[in-house]
């Protein structure tokens, strides 16, 4: 197979990695389409022992530009240095530069149909087969999969479906059970709420109350202008639909804050201070108020999230949290395989009561992408809760992280190990070591290191 090395100047933690493109079949599961595309890989071999060999750490890329994951997965680099591993980050098809049909990839359903988790796993399997035969001919090479979030789901599924390809997987904050009938649809937003309560119970109460105040204001033009002015919105709210977008954006903001509630300043989705929820809630910690003044407090909180650097002159409710995430691709995936039901009841959580309505959801998918979601397919394909025959997977979850509600938080067998990080947000353990790390994430990484070291030893036996 033809492939090419391209030197580049990109670096992570001072290590200069190579960017590499690998020819992949667009369709692994059929023989009618022989199109190929170039999949991007980031490769760093500087930790390998001088005599060659050693393990390979392979990041199963998720829904975004792979360089972004590369720069936010410092633990993998640290552990690779310690265990003398080759470091490889594989980009997920349809994200970053790995577009099967270039800028036409999202143009029509025919070109988009190859965006599935199964095709992505097959890409990784084909690449690793190539890696073993071409880069390590005649050698025994243990490969360990790493991934966070959807990337963590992929790394777990990769070990389940291709156990000959990787000897084990660290699936960090991987909500592999966030599917229909596997967990309560309300658990996700309840966890967001708990994370806010954890820092400040009054804050969660104030957020819960804010929806009512917004709804009341939204009924009149004057009220909508008040919201627009209070939140310094870039575009005024002109209709009830605009208000819907505004509320969805607010909800998304609270969710994202729970995901990135890291113990030190970070810039994962947005530039933020340490424990951003604590910071945000400092505006919302005053005694309960049910009048319009609450709106200004919510604005101050939200402004901290979107405008920590103070550069924004207005807030854009259509803005994505980060450009690095491929929201088009993920929208499509959420409309096909990755249907993750959420709901809220306003009692156990701080959100407006919204039931999970699959039919309505499916209608939206049909409208946007001309596809009908198959919500049970990932359960049938990946086994739902019946995965105890799998082996060598670490499921790590931070309890501040909303996605922990769909994660594996209890060990399922001696080799399917759950690691809980009470003070951890979204895959905190995958991030670089930091002097402000809570003790529990340090312990989690230590345990992960021990288990991975054992997998490597077992492999050579």
The catalytic residue positions are 149, 401, 426
Please choose, out of 26-34, 243-251, 276-284, 356-364, the segment that lies near its own copies by the rule CB under 8 A.
26-34
When asked if residue 271 is in the footprint of its own copies (CB under 8 A), the reply is: no
Binding mask 219-258 for its own copies (x = CB under 8 A): ----------------------------------------
Interaction of residue 153 with its own copies, rule CB under 8 A: no
Task: Copy the structure tokens of residue 196.
Answer: 């806010």
Q: How far apart are CA 182 and CA 125, in angstroms?
A: 28
Among residue numbers 306 through 365, which ones bind its own copies (CB under 8 A)?
A: 336-337
Other C-beta atoms within 10 Å of 458: how many?
13
**For 179-248, what is the HEC assignment?**
CCCCCCCCHHHHHHHHHHHHHCHHHHHHHHHHHHHHHHHHCCHHHHHHHHHHCCECCCCCCHHHHHHHHH
Residues 218, 243 contacting (CB under 8 angstroms)? yes
CB of 391 to its own copies, least distance (A): 6
- Cβ proximity to its own copies: between 337 and 401 the closer is 337
Region from 79-87, 220-228, 372-380, 430-438 binding its own copies, contact rule CB under 8 A? 372-380
What Å distances lie between residue 234 and 229, 237, 256, 310, 316, CA to CA?
9, 9, 21, 15, 5
Least separation in angstroms between residue 290's CB and its own copies is: 46
* Residue 386 interacting with its own copies (CB under 8 A): yes
Could you give the C-alpha distances from 323 to 107, 236, 311, 319, in angstroms and in order? 20, 23, 17, 9
Nearest Cα residue to 163 out of 428, 457, 455: 455
Q: Which is nearer to its own copies, 337 or 429 (CB)?
A: 337
Tell me how far, at minimum, the Cβ of 458 lies from its own copies, in Å. Answer: 11
Q: Which three-class secondary structure state does DSSP give residue 69?
A: helix
Contact 280, 305 (CB under 8 A): yes
CB of 83 to its own copies, least distance (A): 22
Indicate whether 139 belongs to the interface with its own copies (CB under 8 A): no
Minimum CB distance to its own copies, residue 319 (Å): 29
Of the two residues 3 and 113, which places its CB atom closer to its own copies in the complex? Answer: 113
Q: Which token pair is 458?
A: 């077992």
Which tokens go with 449? 């290191």
Q: Which of 384, 418, 438, 453 binds its own copies (CB under 8 A)?
A: 384
Q: Which is nearer to its own copies, 153 or 218 (CB)?
A: 153
Distance CA(409)–CA(403), nearest Å, equals 11
Binding mask 389-428 for its own copies (x = CB under 8 A): xxx-------------------------------------
Q: Does 303 bind its own copies (CB under 8 A)?
A: no
Count residues near its own copies (CB under 8 A).
42
φ/ψ (deg, to 5) at 22: -130, 130
Given a contact cutoff of 8 angstroms between Cβ atoms, the answer to whether 369 and 111 are in contact is no
Looking at 109, 236, 244, 364, which residue binds its own copies (CB under 8 A)? 109
Q: Which helix (H) or strand (E) holds 305?
A: helix 293-306
Q: How far is the CB of 320 from its own copies (least distance, A)?
A: 24
Separation CA 74–CA 298 (nearest Å): 33
What stretches of 248-332 adopt beta strand conformation (E)? 266-267, 271-272
Specify the stretch interacting with its own copies by CB under 8 A; choose among 219-227, 253-261, 293-301, 387-395.
Answer: 387-395
Are 348 and 193 contacting, i.e. CB atoms less than 8 angstroms apart?
yes
From the list 25-33, 230-238, 246-254, 436-444, the region that binds its own copies by CB under 8 A is 25-33
Give the footprint of its own copies on residues 114-133 (CB under 8 A). 114, 116, 118-119, 122, 125-126, 129
Q: How far apart are CA 410 and CA 419, in angstroms?
A: 8
User: Which residue lies nearer to its own copies by CB, 354 or 371?
Assistant: 371
Phi, psi of 62 (to 5 degrees): -115, -155
Minimal distance, residue 360 CB to its own copies, in Å: 18
Of 40, 161, 208, 426, the residue at the interface with its own copies (CB under 8 A) is 161
Question: Could you count the other beta carbons within 10 Å of the beta carbon of residue 306?
Answer: 19
**In this chain, which stretch among 31-39, 48-56, 93-101, 396-404 interacts with its own copies, using CB under 8 A?**
31-39
For residues 433 to 452, the per-residue mask of contacts with its own copies, x marking binding by CB under 8 A and - elsewhere, is --------------------
Mapping DSSP to helix (H, G, I), strand (E, B) and coil, where does residue 275 land?
A: coil
Tokens 């000897």 label which residue? 167
Considering the rule CB under 8 A, would residue 58 count as an interface residue with its own copies?
no
**Where do contacts with its own copies occur on this chain (CB under 8 A)?**
25, 28-34, 109-110, 112-114, 116, 118-119, 122, 125-126, 129, 161-165, 336-337, 371-372, 374, 376-377, 379-381, 383-384, 386-387, 389-391
């Amino acid at each position: 197979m033809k492939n090419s090395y391209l030197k580049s100047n990109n670096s992570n933690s001072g290590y200069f990695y190579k960017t590499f493109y690998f020819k992949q079949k667009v369709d692994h599961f059929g023989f009618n389409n022989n199109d190929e595309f170039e999949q991007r890989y980031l490769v760093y071999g500087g930790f390998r022992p001088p005599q060659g060999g050693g393990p390979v750490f392979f990041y199963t890329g998720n829904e975004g530009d792979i360089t972004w994951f590369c720069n936010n997965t410092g633990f993998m680099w640290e552990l690779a240095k310690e265990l003398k591993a080759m470091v490889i980050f594989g980009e997920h098809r349809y994200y970053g530069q790995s577009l099967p049909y270039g800028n036409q990839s999202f143009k029509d359903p025919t070109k988009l149909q190859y965006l599935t988790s199964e095709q992505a796993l097959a890409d990784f399997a084909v690449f690793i087969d190539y890696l073993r035969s071409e880069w390590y001919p005649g050698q025994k090479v243990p490969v360990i999969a790493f991934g966070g979030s959807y990337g963590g789901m992929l790394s777990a599924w990769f070990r389940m479906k291709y156990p000959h390809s990787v000897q084990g997987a660290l699936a960090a904050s991987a909500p592999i059970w966030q599917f229909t009938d596997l967990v309560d649809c309300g658990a996700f937003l309840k966890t967001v709420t708990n994370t806010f309560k954890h820092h400040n119970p009054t804050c969660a109460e104030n957020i819960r109350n804010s929806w009512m105040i917004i709804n009341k204001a939204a009924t009149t033009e004057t009220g909508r202008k008040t919201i627009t002015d209070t939140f310094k919105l870039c575009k005024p709210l002109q209709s009830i639909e605009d208000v819907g977008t505004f509320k969805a954006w607010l909800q998304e903001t609270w969710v994202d804050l729970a995901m990135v509630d890291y113990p030190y300043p970070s810039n994962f989705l947005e530039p933020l201070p340490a424990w951003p929820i604590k910071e945000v809630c400092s505006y919302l910690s005053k005694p309960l108020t049910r009048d319009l003044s609450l709106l200004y407090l919510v604005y101050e909180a939200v402004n901290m999230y979107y405008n920590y650097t103070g550069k924004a002159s207005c807030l854009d409710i259509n803005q994505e949290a980060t450009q690095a995430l491929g929201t088009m691709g993920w929208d499509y995936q959420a409309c096909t395989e990755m249907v993750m039901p959420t709901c809220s009841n306003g009692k156990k959580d701080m959100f407006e009561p919204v039931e999970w309505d699959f039919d309505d959801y499916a209608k939206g998918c049909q409208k946007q992408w001309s596809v009908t979601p198959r919500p049970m397919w990932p359960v049938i394909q990946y086994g739902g809760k019946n995965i105890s025959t799998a082996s060598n997977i670490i499921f790590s979850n931070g309890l501040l992280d909303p996605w922990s509600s769909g994660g594996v938080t209890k060990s399922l067998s001696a080799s399917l190990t759950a690691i809980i990080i009470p003070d951890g947000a979204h895959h905190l353990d995958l991030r670089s070591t930091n002097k402000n790390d809570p003790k529990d994430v340090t312990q989690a990484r230590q345990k992960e290191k021990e288990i991975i070291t054992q997998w490597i030893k077992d492999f050579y036996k």
